[in-house]
Amino acid sequence: MNEFYIFEDIEYHEKIPVKHFIAAIEESWGHWHNEIEVLFVLSGTLQITVEESRYDLNTGDIILINSNRIHSIKSEGNLTFVLQFVPELIYQIYGKDQTYYFNLNTAVSELNKETADKLKSVLARIGIEYSRMRDGYKFFLWSYFYEFVGCLFRYCDYKAQTSDPKMSEDLKKVTAIINHINKHFKEDLSLETIAEAVNMNVMALSKFFRKKTGLSILFYLKMVRINHAKQLLESSDAPVIEIAQECGFYSLPTFYRAFNEIVGISPKEYKKTRKSHAFKDHIQLVQGYLMVDSVNEYALLHKYL
């Protein structure tokens, strides 16, 4: 679970419309989803951009990203507890008339220790309960989850707004742009062809996209192409030149430069390191024995209980 995709269609465990996992988030580009997302940094640091604002999160920080806010993440190394839930869970209890926007970001405003400990302890219980799967764990997950939402209302700042029609108009527009890029990145795309396709002028498109995502549209295009290249490098043994072409790069030097800019290493080095990482997410070899992530999960979370 290292990367997010631009339109996250979040799959839920066991039909509970709440998802959590611990991830080493390497990079996640501008994306949004209906779900409210909570990030709790268990180790390392994260730089997160929410629309145009940028925050540096350290170990122990918690941030909540409200529904449909475009956000991107960059990190040199971290383990982060991620909780995602649909706002409908709040509507069930508080009604659908209003949307709730929570202000929870310890990188900007410190919570008092008691509140912070409460929130972290609930998240730790969610993580450990799910990893252990003792009988009845789903009920416990529900109860901890509601406790968490209860804490948000009781202890955090929030504002309730009636839904904003402009906001959803804007999201529709961003969606259209991104859909177009995702569909046609293998072709010879330019600012002009994109603008034409989404029926905007070049200047407005460029400004609008940057305002909503914090990224230039051409940089975004480059990221989509390189991400596809990364997948191909991992999954196939095709020569680099074929992979470059498959991703819309018609000059090899341009591909190498772009790859290095986005990933930080050459395509060949990338292929090599990914192979050695093949099992990273599940298991590691240890003196002929193996370890699994439930040990990690417990090790990371137990001190917050």
- Contact residues toward other proteins (CB under 8 A) are 24, 26, 42-44, 75, 77-79, 131-135, 137, 273, 276-277, 280, 282-292, 294-296, 298-300, 302-303, 305
Please, what sign has the CA dihedral across residues 11, 293, 77, 148? positive
CB-nearer residue toward other proteins: 27 or 170: 27
Residue 170's alpha-carbon distances to 88, 101, 127, 177, 212, in angstroms, are 21, 18, 35, 11, 8
CB-nearer residue toward other proteins: 182 or 296: 296
CB-nearer residue toward other proteins: 172 or 303: 303
CB of 162 to other proteins, least distance (A): 41
Dig out the tokens for 64 from the structure: 């909540």
Cα separation, 69 vs 57, in Å, equals: 18
Cα separation, 265 vs 233, in Å, equals: 13
Strand 71-85 vs strand 98-103: parallel, antiparallel, or unpaired? unpaired
CB of 191 to other proteins, least distance (A): 34
CB-nearer residue toward other proteins: 24 or 171: 24
CB of 220 to other proteins, least distance (A): 24
Cα separation, 218 vs 292, in Å, equals: 40
User: Which residue, among 108, 106, 129, has the nearest Cα to 117 in the 3D structure?
Assistant: 106
CB of 193 to other proteins, least distance (A): 37
CB of 38 to other proteins, least distance (A): 19
CB-nearer residue toward other proteins: 211 or 280: 280
Neighbouring-strand partners of residue 77: 45
CB of 37 to other proteins, least distance (A): 19
Dig out the tokens for 94 from the structure: 């508080």
CB-nearer residue toward other proteins: 207 or 280: 280
CB distance 106 to 63 below 8 Å: yes
Q: Which amino acid is at 25?
A: I
